[in-house]
Structure formats: structure tokens, C-alpha cells
Amino acid sequence: MTDRKTLQTEKISGHSGPSPGLGMQRDFEVCKLVDTTTCIGCKACEVACVEWNDMPFGMTTFDNTYQTMPETRWNFWNLIKFNEHQREDGTIQWLMRKDQCMHCADPGCMAACPADGAIVKYTNGIVDFNQENCIGCEFCVSGCPFNIPRFNPGTKKVYKCTLCSDRVGEGLEPACIKACPTGCLKFGSKDDMKFIANERARQLKENFGMENAGVYDPQSVGGTHVIYVLHDATDPERYGGLPKNPTIPWSYTVWKWLFKPVLGAFALFGGLGVLMHYVSVGPRRPQPEPPEKEAANGNGD
Amino acid sequence: MTNGWIDIKNTDMMLIMGGNPAENHPCGFKWAIEAKLHRNAKTIVVDPRLTRTAANADMYVQIRAGSDIAFLGGVINYAIQNNRIAHEYLVNYTNAAFLIKDGFKLPEDGLYSGFDAEKKTYDKSTWNYEEGGDLTGKPPAPTPEGQNAPAGQGAQHSDTGKGLGYQAASPTGAKAGTGAPALPPNIAFDLSLQHPRCVFQLMKKQYERYTPEMVERITGIPQAEFLKAADLFTSVRKDGDMKKVATIIYAVGWTQHSFGTQIIRAAAMLQLLMGNVGRAGGGVNALRGHSNIQGATDMAGIFDILPGYLKMPNPNDVDLATYLKRATPTVSKPDPWDSFNYWSNTPKFTVSLLKAMYGAAATKDNDWAFNYLPKIDRNYSWVNIWNDMYEGKIKGIFAFGMNGVMIGPDSNKNIDALKKADWLVVCEIYPDETSEFWRAPGITADDQKKINTTVYRLPGAGFAEKDGTFVNSARWLQWKNAAVPPPGLARLDQEILATIFLKVRDLYKKEGGKFPDPVLNATFAYTTPYNPSLSEVAKELNGKALADITDPKTNITIKAGQQLPGFAWLKDDGTTSSGNWLYCGSWTEAGAMMQRRGTDDPSGLGIYPNWGWSWPMNRRVLYNRASCDGGGKPWDPQRRQVWWDEAKQSWVGSDVPDFKPDSAPKDHMGPFIMNPEGIGRLFVPLGAMADGPFPEYYEPIESPIANPLHPAQSSNPVVKKYKTDMDKYGTLDQGFNVVCTTYRLTEHYHYWTKNNPMNVQLVPEPFVEVPAELADRMGIRGGEKVRVTSARAHYIAKAMVTRRIRPMKIDGKETFQIGIPIHWGFRGISEDEDRTAKTLANQLTPTVIDPNAFTPEFKGFLVKIEKV
Amino acid sequence: MELSRRTFLKGTLAGGAGISLLGFDLTPVYAQTQSLKISRATETRSTCPYCAVSCGVIIYTLGDKAKNAIPQVVHVEGDPDHPINRGTLCPKGSSLEQDILNDRRLLKPQVRRPGGTDWEDISWEQAYTEIAQKVKKTRDDTFLEKDASGKTVNRCEGVAWTGGCTDTNEFNYLAVKTMRSLGVCYLENQARV
């Protein structure tokens, strides 16, 4: 047999009928574990991502924070969010969280995408954008509950973290995982990652006095293939706007099968696409302010 | 590091202070995280700022920059008062029981005995041990009374041997005839630690003054918080139990002070007091900040030593014998104990070095070319280079990968110094501030025409283009391979240096000149002398036999020309050569030990004995004999490094014993074999320290308060200020009311990555970290430009307004601290795009140096801050 | 379309672009993962030049070391065998490729003459010759054989050496050997500061 075992598609955006070839291979779900309690915000993951993917460098500006830029960009898929959280006793907790595509089991981007094959989900859980098939309608941007996909006006395509599908397909871990100096990033099977994450949360509760430590693996999107250990799982929002209960906009889940092919056609005529976008999800949300800006203005005490 | 990077995983407790490893050593910091994950180890971070290391700590304590000795002294006091000390270790492995001479005085008024106010130096003759044997009043007891030594450990000392075992090569005894005070051969001691002049009692008295209240006044740490930290750190030695172990981790946040060496001494004392040195997961761990400054120090790239930490000769060393007499310590110990005194081998190391440097020209008749070496009689250290150049004494300077203008201190002085030099030779890979000092901001084209310095800028090779050895912070030698050729016309650094030297040699051959002998005779017998192979140099460093030599004990012979297997083979009769005795064993007949890539770690302690090679003789944890009790059994059987094997009558273990292998426990040889006493020094006798045998707290030269311990002697009494018109020092009265500290960011590396577009994208511009409360008061908002002014210059950058630095109460007064990352200059990606003000952090810093290590006081100086 | 086989981006570019224009499914590319850019590159083991953790790095260069292939760095990644970093790298180590392939690198010897306002190019040979002459003159002018009390000191007082943090052991030794032989006392290194 000359075929190499490779990534196997499970779901395909805008595709009617079953995913071709599904069920021909055994597979297991992969997962990234991000332990925010051992993240040192060093940004090695940011660099490893840019370097592996040979992405062009962009301009950044000092913005009163250690955070590289306010949000991820089409050429910067992986961003540590820095947040200064004031504890009840007045002391400061400096939180760092790696923000990137969550590789949802039930991806909002895919639910929103009208283009056949622009987004694929592999049986191992990776959600990958295929720019060859992308029509640049940006529905995925509004469909994502984590504010991740980024439009490149130059190519008129949308980009995001691939979970290094090229590396994983060759049997390697993703670039960010390999680089992470402290091991706060881990990669393996989803089962293993869940086990390690829960054990760590238990350790934090029992030995480090963190009563609310817990694992973030939101079931509202069917679970994710990037999961977090949080010092305080009751308030994920404080980690740079990690939604407590991420949901796909209802319009996409309800209208998906009705409108998708039509929407795809509309997208060719940009204006109509934008109209539908507005109808389906409303005006674009403003980018959330990084909380440390409040501190910067001296509002904190 | 006494220990190593991986070894941190073996710890139960970390005090991280004067360092920011999560940001500056992220990949080493993983082992701290491993200790948390797998041992539930706790971390205490004491730092002026809530850094990314502090963000990961179990306890973060904000301290005023420079007040570290007050904190550590307070912890020493806490440990003694609460019996959180390792009693057996203290009595047997340190000089706690040794008596100090009558007439020695503690610095209640800020001065130890012997101060000469005019010369600002000490007569150290009272800083010495009393002579006289056992004063305990009875024969050494198995376990000294009145302490909570754990049951069962006493028996090991019931047979404290008298004068048994190994006699060091040089005779035991005082240095007769030199007239200089020497350590007594037979130290008086009191194993009950009760004698008022024993080191333990003196130490106790010294640090009783460091009460929690005093700590709060000096450091700004509230008493309750200090007590919590002291309790947590010393909790590993609760009731004297020896199982657990704590480590102290530091970096240049400790060294860059006018009392830097004494901060580290204080940490070492605390670790000795708690019995944490020599043990897996313990130690005093300096995290060196550059890839090969450990190697550069080993190799004596600094003025005051020769390779392998041999002393630099001075003019009174009129011949080799005189030098060796001064440089070779003699044993000084309690009579019944034993001491290896490894430095007694100094003559072998020295003659072998001279043979490596001068080959056949070094003969017995010419004292092995001892006079080829320059003899120093003053301080030629870093800050003095720039000072003396500024004063016109230095005419030419080489800067090989060293950006002296950026490094400072007082960069403007360094720029002005270079204007006075005749020539400057820079070897670099990027355009840097030093090579372009003549067009620094503010120097006009007209000014440039008046600068007569000739500057050569030679393109050197980057790390990926060179092979050779780096030594990491854990003393591991590791060979690296070249991957690509240098770009353009760039050349290998060794080719550039060798060619310059050989061309100078040619000129001396042709024209003659002043004392040409060393220039003509330095060995350069490499296959291609103009571009020496670094493998050949590495072999020269290891050393070889110059004649057939035979070990009388084993009858093993090493033939002339063969590589030596280790420094035990070195001779002082000219039959061996070795460029650095510490590296002897690194490239033997078996091959290049530093190229090994064995990944086995049988003990699980992270020793990796077959990866690279660690000096000395592949020992991974220094002083590891101290990981065992007196009887040679590991304090913690779960972390066994070395131990005494009674059947083999030898020390064995997972690590190479840092000890005389056949010295039985009953001989009571001290585990600190590099000290002539064989023990760890709580009290440093005689001349080793310039400013006191114990660390005393002194204020930085620029300080917001008078020292609450002794206001009349506020700062370090032996520190001398520089006296040119450039050297200015600020005071509170002049309006310099903010404490400033400087540091690196994890995203950047010194003055190098400002040329790297990836790192520039991560942090594009310079900034100043300003506490939110101070910013409020000054009307500064995040992102607005501020001007920071010291007595020397000003610095302009955007403000990062943060709650991670809080206001402090220092001796009752509200005090603010700000912080400045050091990475930006006037050449770099952002600089060349005019995105910065092109001011240098080190234009602000003062020309003040630590009297022991001569490191500048980059941390904790005074500034004022205003909105631009 | 063989969906179970890795499809290479290049091979499917034209088809992919064509179909997505219409937005409807003809023969779209579903699995577009690229081949690994380092799969046949040459690996060279080195050590990161930044801090003293000494992370092992692998430098990947284009070509298989054949004589005519001039190695070009395509990627740098941590060495998973290295016991300390175990393949990890910090943000500086992770960007080493940009240090090696940097368009700001100095590529030729230059000199700034007294009173000069710019750099001039100089040949290596000329630079070496001039530097050697200056070193010798300064040494001869400032060499002190005996101090005031007549003791031998053999010092060259007019020359200073400042060495860098990334100099190898072997280079440091050559610097010590040559500079001390010239009589240099102002011999310092990043290790001091």
C-alpha cells in the first residue's frame, strides 16, 4: 500500500453529504492542554508559531502592556493575553493565557461557512482552514465564539491556527507545544490531556490552596481540542475574555442547512454578504478592552 | 550554580531573589515548575517588581531594590531564633564552632574592626581564627548538647579521628616568614557553639539586630509579610529535620550592587545554616545570563585571575616561588579534623599553564617564563577601563562582541572615553553603539570632525557559523557545531584575533621592540596558525604529557604527547601542560568529553553523567559530600547523590564525589575541599572579602534614606567613588526621589535582539514601568512619554503604568520604585525607524562598583520622573 | 481526488482556486496540509547563544550537504535530546533563524578615519596591517618593564581588551594567551558586568 496514513476529514464546510472516505481509518482525538498556572507569558509559543509557519512580520506599538498586540492577526495566530487581576486582599494576580483557535468539537466557524471545503475538521479534532476554497465572506469570523479567525485584506482569505496540521500529519507535535519552556503546554490524546488537566486542578486545590481551580473544556461547543487549567475556573472571563459559556450564534445553527448554499452565492457579491452577516449576527462586536488598561488609568486601587 | 538546571526539580522550596528566571532563563525555569508539579515545592519570589517569575510564585514579596541583605539577615535571624537550622551540618561542615580572635569587632556602628578611614580599607588582622585546639571543655561529644539533633545521628561522630589520613602536598602550617597574617594551622573551636567568640555566636549577635521591625524599615516589607516568608522558607528545617531541602536562585539582581558579593555571601550563610549546600535540590545557584560568561570566567577573561581561577601575579611576586608561596594556601583546621585543601596543587596548575602558553620557551631556568606574565598592582576592571581611557591612559581598545557603550555604567562617560582613544577595533555581527560612538545622538558632523579615534569594524561570525565550547551556568562544557559559513566577507573571530596577533609578532620579529619575548614565544603551533582549529585549542586546554609520566600508586604511564585524563596528573616540573587545569579531563585520549550526548540518567536526579562534561572532573553538584551525614549516609535516602561504601572503603554514587574518594568518614575531612579549612565559611577570615567577614547591610550609594542600622555609616565604607568631572552621584535633596532599577525582558536579549524583527515585533519600543499611584500623582497615563533623570543623564520612553509595582514605606517614608528594561540604544530596527528616543538605560546608571567583584551598581539608584 | 492521501498545496493550487471562485463543490481540496518543510533538511546540533541555560538547538539547513548546495537556514528548533531544554526554546531561542538570516549583519570590514563622518570600506589585509601597526606602536609607547620601586611588572598599560559573552572557551583562551603575552592588564569581559 503506497498511501500514507494521513489526516482524515470528518466534517467539511458547505459540503452536502458525508465526508468522503470517512470511516476508512482508525483515529484518536488530539488535544492541546494549556496550564495557565504554569504559564510564564514568555511568548515562545507566539514565536514558534510565526517561525514555523514562516509568517511575515508585522508592526506593533507599545500599548501599556506586555501583550504583543490586542488580538491575534491573520499572520499571528497565537497570542498570550496578559491580565492584571486584583484579588480581594488588594494584591495583584498577573494572569497569562495563550489565546488561539480552540479547535471546537462543534466549530462555529464551520457552522457559519458556506464555502465547500474552506473549513475541514479532521477526525483527530483539528479544525483547519483551507484558503484555496475560502471565499472571504468572513462568516466564520462571526460564527466563532472565541473571536479567532482573521481576514487578510490582501488575499481576501481568512486565517487561523492550524494546530500545525502539517506537523501533526507527519507525527510531530505542534510548534508552540514543542517550544513551551515550562511545559505549561502539552499535547497528546484528548483523553490524556483531560486526565492530566484534572489531576493538576486537583493538585492546585489540595496543595496550593486554589479552591476554584478547574479545567476549561466548554461543552456548549461540544468540548474543545484546546483545554485550559485555570486558577479560578468560575471566572474564565478574567483571562482576557475567555467566554464562560461560548455559543455559536443561533442564526448559524438554525439556518445553516436552509441558507448555506445561497449564502455562498451571495458572498460573491460582497455587499449582500455583509447584509446577511448583519442580519444573522448583528453589528460586529467591539474588541474587548484589555483589563489592564483600567489599571493603567489608575482606576484600580 | 553549585547545582544545576535540572537539579532544581529535586527541591522542596525555592527562594528566588535578585533574579527573574521565568523571564531570563525560561527553559531553565521549567525545572522549578517540575518541582512544583512533582514535589509540591513552594516558591517565594522577592523582587522590586511583580515579574513573570513572581506571577508564578506561591508567595510574592515586594522589596526595595538593594535592600536584600536586610531581608536575608532577617531570615538568618529568624532561622536561628526558631531553631530552623541544621545542627549537625553546622557544627561539622561549617566554621560555626571556630573561635575568632579577640579584638574582632562586629559592625554595630557600621564598621568592623580595623577600618582605616583615610584609605577606606580594612586592616583585617583581627578577622582571623583563634589558634589553640579544642575549647569545648571536654572531648568532642557525639552530639553537642542542648540542641534538637535528630536521634541516631550522634554516633557518627563518636570517633572523630585525630590527625588521620591524607596530608596535603604542602606542609601544614602558617606561612612563616612572609609577615602577612595567615590562617592558624590549629584552629580553636567549641563544638557546643556556646563560646561568645565562636562564629555561631558572633553571627547570632550580628543578625539579632535584623529584627522584623528593622527589616520592614529598610526593605519596605511589612513585618507580617516578612515573617510569613521567613517561616515558609525555613519550614524545610522545622525542628532540625534534614530530609527536605531548599534552594536559593539569583542572578545579577544580586551582583549589581555596591555590596553585591555580600548579598550572595548572606545567601550562602543561610544555606549553610540550614544545611542546604551540596544537596540535590539545594545550593546557591547563580543563573548566569549569557551563553559563555561562565567559560569566560573560567578562562580568566577578567583582569584579576589566570585560567582556572589562579591568582594574577603582582609586582611583589618577584619570582615564581614567591608567587606560589602567596597563591598556595596551607591547611588551617581544628586539629582533630582533616582538610583536603585542593588548592595546595596550585604549583602544578600554574606550571602546566605556563607550559601551555609558552611551550619550549618556558624552562626551569627561566622560572617557566613566569615573567612573561604582566604583574598587576591595581584595579584594571571594567569601570576602570572606561575611567582610565577617559583620563587618557588607554590608547587602544579591542571590543570583540562587547558593546561597552550600551553596557555602561554611565554610557556618556564611555562615549567620551572612546573619543580620547587613538584606536578602537570592534569585531561584531551587527552595527552597534560602540563602533558608532562617534555619531551617537547629539554628536554633530562638526563634532565628529574633532574626534580622532580610528575605528575598525570587522565583521565576525555568528554563533551558527562557529564551533567551539560554551560552559553553561551549571558548569557543563558543551561543544557546538557550525551549520553555515559566515555571510559576505565576515570571518571567524579566532581567525581575526590570530591574524592580528601573528602580524604583531611579525613586526616584533622584523623591528624588535619592548620586551618582545612573550609575543615571540607564545605557543601558536596550530595546524593553521592564522585560523586556529578550536578542537586543537580545546585539546591544549585539557593538556597533555610532555614526557612519559607514571603514577607510582597504579604504575599507569602516560606517554609524552598523550592527552591527560584529569588534573590529578598535572605536575609542577614541566612534564605536563594544561591551558586550564579545571578543564583537564574534558578532551582526553578517549575523545572530546564535552561532545558526549548520552541521555541516560540512572539516578533520576537529572545528573546525566554522560552528557557533555562538567568541571571539575564531571561533578554535577559541587560539595556533594555534604549531602550525607557525618557517617556518609545521605540526609535523604530518596535523593542519593554520593555515599560512603564501607566495603569498598570509598565514596561512590550517582554523581562523581566532590571529595577525596578514600577519605573515610571517621577521618572527618571537611566537604568543602577548596577551602583550606575544609568547611563552609559562615565567617570569611582575612583577605577574601574587602568589606567584612559577615555581610552587613549598607545602603546603595544613591539611596532615599540613611541606613537605619547605622545612619552615620550608611553605605559601604570601602566603596570609592570615581573622581572625573563625568562622575556625578545624586541625592534625595537634589530631587532624585525615586528608586530605579534596570533589567531585561524575556522577549529580548541584551543589545542583540533589537536587530531581530521577530523579537522587535514582540516588544517594539522601550518603556518605563511606573507604579499606578505614582503615575496618578504625576498625571502620567499609560503610553505617554516620560523623562527619567538621574544625576548623570536623562532617559525618555513611554510609561507602562502598572499596579504590579506598589508604593512602599521605607523607614516610614512613602517611596516609589520604577523599572527600565535595558534593550534599546541608537542602532536597531526600531531605532533606525526613529521609533525610539535613542536614549540608553545605562546613561542613567552610576559609576560605582562592588569592592569585591567590581561589578557596577546597575540596580537601585536614584532618579526623578516627569511627563514629557 | 484521493482524499485519504496527503495532498500537496502546490499540486492542487490551480484546481482549488478555480472551484472556490464559484463557491460550489466541483473537486475541492479537502485536506491541504503541506509537506514538512524540514523533512529532508540537514540537521546541525548547536547551542543557543543567549542565556546560560545552554539549550540545545537544531539548525535546519537547505540541502543535503552536497558540495554544490550552499547551506541556507530554513528553521531552528529545540533539540529534544538535550537534557535541560528537552526541545523547548524561549522566545529568543525560537527566533534564532532571524538572527542567522538577518539583513542587518555586517558583511565587510570598515574603517572610520580620524575626523571622519562615515564608514569607509577597507580590505581585510589593509585592516590587519594597520591594526597590527597600531597595536605594536601603542604597546611600545606604553610598555612598563619595571615599576617605580624597580620591580618587574611587564605591563602594556595603553591597550584594553573587552571580550563578549558569546565567545567560546577556546576563543577566550586565545584572547588571554595573546593579550597577556602583549602585557595587557585591562582585560575584561561581559562576565564582569
Q: Which CATH number fits the domain that encloses residue C83?
A: 2.20.25.90
Residue A256 pLDDT: 57
Nearest CA in chain A to C93: A44
**C178 to chain B: which residues are within 8 Å by CB?**
497-498, 501, 522
CA distance A121 to chain B (A): 31
Banded model confidence at residue A26, pLDDT cuts 50, 70, 90? confident
Q: What is the pLDDT of residues B728-750, one digit of tens each?
A: 999 999 999 999 999 999 999 99
Cβ <8 Å between C151 and B315 = yes
CA distance B707 to chain A (A): 28
**C116 to chain B: which residues are within 8 Å by CB?**
438, 448
Distance CA C156, CA B515 (A): 10
In a domain, C150, yes or no: yes
Same domain, C119 and C183: yes
A partners (3+ CB pairs within 8 A) are B, C
Whole-model pTM: value is 0.92
Q: What is the pLDDT of residues B109-118, one digit of tens each?
A: 999 999 999 9
**B765 to chain A: which residues are within 8 Å by CB?**
61-62
Given C77, C100, C123, the domain boundary residue is C100
Say if CB C101 and CB C84 are below 8 A apart. no
| Interface-testing mutation among A8, A27, A47, with chain C (most C C-beta atoms within 10 A) | A47
Among B162-176, B407-421, B728-742, the least confident range: B162-176
Cβ <8 Å between A52 and C75 = yes
* B635: pLDDT strictly greater than 80: yes
Whole-number average pLDDT of chain B: 94
Cβ <8 Å between A40 and B29 = yes
Same domain, C114 and C184: yes
Cβ <8 Å between C145 and B514 = yes
Structural domains counted in chain C: 3
Q: HSE of B175 in the Cβ direction (CA atoms, 13 Å)? A: 17
Three-state SS for B73? Answer: helix
Residue B777 pLDDT: 96
- Residue range B811-818: average pLDDT? 97
Per-residue cell: B528:
593553521
| Residues constituting chain B | 868
Residue A258 pLDDT: 58
Same domain, C133 and C72: no
Distance CA B86, CA B95 (A): 13
Q: How far is CA A129 from CA A268, B593, C15, in A?
A: 19, 49, 17
Residue A295 pLDDT: 36
Name which of A133, A162, A169 is nearest C20 (Cβ-Cβ).
A133
Secondary structure (DSSP) of B239-271: GG--S--EEEEE-HHHHSSTTHHHHHHHHHHHH
Say if CB A161 and CB A45 are below 8 A apart. no
Please give the CATH architecture assigned to the domain spanning A9-296.
2-Layer Sandwich (3.30)
List all residues of chain B from 713 to 752 with a beta carbon under 8 Å from chain C: 746-750, 752
* C36: pLDDT strictly greater than 90: no
Residue C14 pLDDT: 30
Residue C5 pLDDT: 32
Nearest to C51 by CA among B289, B402, B295, B292: B289
**C48 to chain A: which residues are within 8 Å by CB?**
none
Cβ <8 Å between B855 and C192 = yes
Residue C33 pLDDT: 56
Cβ <8 Å between A178 and C88 = yes
**Helix and strand element counts for chain B (H, E):** 22, 30
**B500 to chain C: which residues are within 8 Å by CB?**
128, 131-132, 135
In a domain, C74, yes or no: yes
Pick the CATH number of B6-291 from 3.30.70.2860, 3.40.630.30, 3.30.70.260, 3.40.228.10: 3.40.228.10
Same domain, C61 and C78: yes
Residue B138 pLDDT: 44
Banded model confidence at residue A133, pLDDT cuts 50, 70, 90? very high
* B178: pLDDT strictly greater than 80: no
**A295 to chain B: which residues are within 8 Å by CB?**
772, 801-803
Nearest CA in chain C to A13: C30
Amino acid at B833: E
Q: How far is CA C134 from CA A205, B312, B352, B436, B836, in A?
A: 69, 27, 32, 20, 37
Same domain, C73 and C19: no
Name which of C88, C98, C100 is nearest B30 (Cβ-Cβ).
C88
Q: How far is CA B589 from the centre of its chain?
A: 32
Residue C12 pLDDT: 32
Q: With an 8 Å Cβ cutoff, is C165 touching chain A?
A: no
* C11: pLDDT strictly greater than 90: no
B partners (3+ CB pairs within 8 A) are A, C
- Interface size A-B, in CB pairs within 8 Å, comes to 126
Burial of B618 (0-12, 13-18, 19+ CB in 10 A): buried
List all residues of chain B from 344 to 363 with a beta carbon under 8 Å from chain C: 357
Distance CA B603, CA B597 (A): 17
Q: What is the pLDDT of residues B216-246, one digit of tens each?
A: 999 999 999 999 999 999 999 998 899 999 9
Q: What is the pLDDT of residues B35-74, one digit of tens each?
A: 999 999 999 999 999 999 999 999 999 999 999 999 999 9
Of all residues in chain B, the percent with pLDDT exceeding 90 is 94
User: Crossing angle for the helix pair B68-81 and B260-273, nearest 10 degrees?
Assistant: 20
Distance CA B844, CA B331 (A): 46
- Residues with Cβ < 8 Å from A183, sequence gap 6 or more? A38, B30, B33, B34, C88
Same domain, C95 and C114: no
Q: With an 8 Å Cβ cutoff, is B773 touching chain A?
A: yes
Cβ <8 Å between A296 and B782 = yes
CA distance A233 to chain B (A): 17
- Residue range B683-710: average pLDDT? 97
Q: Which residues pair with B856 in a beta bridge?
A: B849
C partners (3+ CB pairs within 8 A) are A, B
Q: With an 8 Å Cβ cutoff, is B451 touching chain C?
A: yes
Q: Which residues of B661-679 are buried (b: 16+ CB within 10 A; e: fewer)?
A: eebbbbbbbbbbbebbbbb
Cβ atoms < 10 Å from Cβ of B793: 18
- Residue range B606-633: average pLDDT? 96
Q: What is the pLDDT of residues B522-565, one digit of tens each?
A: 999 999 999 999 999 999 999 999 999 999 999 999 999 999 99
Residue A289 pLDDT: 42
Distance CA C83, CA C55 (A): 9
Distance CA B47, CA B74 (A): 16
CA triple B330-B332-B334, angle to 5 deg: 155
Cβ <8 Å between B37 and A200 = yes
List all residues of chain B from 668 to 687 with a beta carbon under 8 Å from chain C: none
In a domain, C105, yes or no: no
In a domain, C80, yes or no: yes
In a domain, C151, yes or no: yes
Distance CA A31, CA A271 (A): 38
Say if CB B712 and CB B366 are below 8 A apart. no
Cβ <8 Å between A133 and C91 = no
Q: What is the pLDDT of residues C53-89, one digit of tens each?
A: 999 999 999 988 899 999 999 999 999 999 999 999 9
- Residue range B435-458: average pLDDT? 98
Q: What residue segments make up the domains of chain A, in order of their start?
A: 9-296
Given C100, C121, C138, the domain boundary residue is C100
Banded model confidence at residue B275, pLDDT cuts 50, 70, 90? very high
Nearest to C171 by CA among B583, B470, B312: B470
Distance CA A67, CA A57 (A): 16
**A57 to chain B: which residues are within 8 Å by CB?**
757-758, 760-761
Q: What is the pLDDT of residues B675-693, one digit of tens each?
A: 999 999 999 999 889 999 9
Three-state SS for B414? Answer: helix
Q: With an 8 Å Cβ cutoff, is C10 touching chain A?
A: no
Distance CA C182, CA B522 (A): 10
Cβ <8 Å between B429 and C181 = no
Helices (H), C23-56: none
Residue A27 pLDDT: 86
Q: With an 8 Å Cβ cutoff, is B782 touching chain A?
A: yes
Nearest CA in chain C to A16: C25
Banded model confidence at residue A253, pLDDT cuts 50, 70, 90? confident
How is residue A238 annotated by DSSP? G
Residue B161 pLDDT: 31
* A263: pLDDT strictly greater than 80: no
Q: What residue segments make up the domains of chain B, in order of their start?
A: 6-291, 711-867
Residues on chain A bordering chain B, Cβ-to-Cβ distance under 8 angstroms? 37-38, 40-44, 46-47, 50-51, 57-66, 68, 84, 86, 91-96, 181-184, 200, 203, 207-208, 292-293, 295-298, 300
Say if CB B774 and CB B863 are below 8 A apart. no
Q: How far is CA B524 from CA B350, B393, B492, C128, in A?
A: 19, 30, 17, 18
First-residue to last-residue Cα distance in chain A: 67
Q: How far is CA A133 from CA A25, A124, B534, B583, C24, in A?
A: 25, 21, 54, 61, 9
Given C100, C121, C150, the domain boundary residue is C100
Same domain, C54 and C95: yes
Please give the CATH architecture assigned to the domain spanning B711-867.
Beta Barrel (2.40)
Q: Which residue has the higher pLDDT, B339 or A276?
A: B339
| Interface-testing mutation among A26, A51, A276, with chain C (most C C-beta atoms within 10 A) | A51
List all residues of chain B from 23 to 42 with a beta carbon under 8 Å from chain C: 24-28, 30-31
Residue B155 pLDDT: 34
Three-state SS for B363? Answer: coil
Q: With an 8 Å Cβ cutoff, is B452 touching chain A?
A: no
Residue A262 pLDDT: 54
Reported ipTM: 0.94
Nearest CA in chain B to A300: B803
Residue C32 pLDDT: 53
Give the gyration radius of chain A's Cα atoms: 19
Q: What is the pLDDT of residues B88-135, one digit of tens each?
A: 999 999 999 999 999 999 999 999 999 999 999 999 999 999 999 999
Residue C31 pLDDT: 64
- Interface size B-C, in CB pairs within 8 Å, comes to 477
Nearest to B330 by CA among B656, B584, B686, B92: B686
Q: With an 8 Å Cβ cutoff, is C3 touching chain A?
A: yes
Q: HSE of B721 in the Cβ direction (CA atoms, 13 Å)? A: 13
CA distance C140 to chain A (A): 51
Q: What range does the domain containing C160 cover? A: 110-189
Q: What are phi and psi of B613, to 5 degrees?
A: -155, 135
Beta strands in B177-255, from DSSP E residues, in sequence order: 246-250
Q: Which residue has the higher pLDDT, A248 or A204?
A: A204
Whole-number average pLDDT of chain A: 86
Cβ <8 Å between B463 and C166 = yes
| Interface-testing mutation among C53, C120, C122, C144, with chain B (most B C-beta atoms within 10 A) | C53
Give the gyration radius of chain B's Cα atoms: 27
Q: HSE of B539 in the Cβ direction (CA atoms, 13 Å)? A: 16
Same domain, C26 and C46: no
Helices (H), chain A: 44-52, 108-112, 139-143, 165-169, 175-179, 190-207, 250-268, 270-281, 292-296
CA distance C192 to chain A (A): 27
Q: How far is CA B170 from CA B198, B355, B571, in A?
A: 28, 22, 14
Banded model confidence at residue B851, pLDDT cuts 50, 70, 90? very high
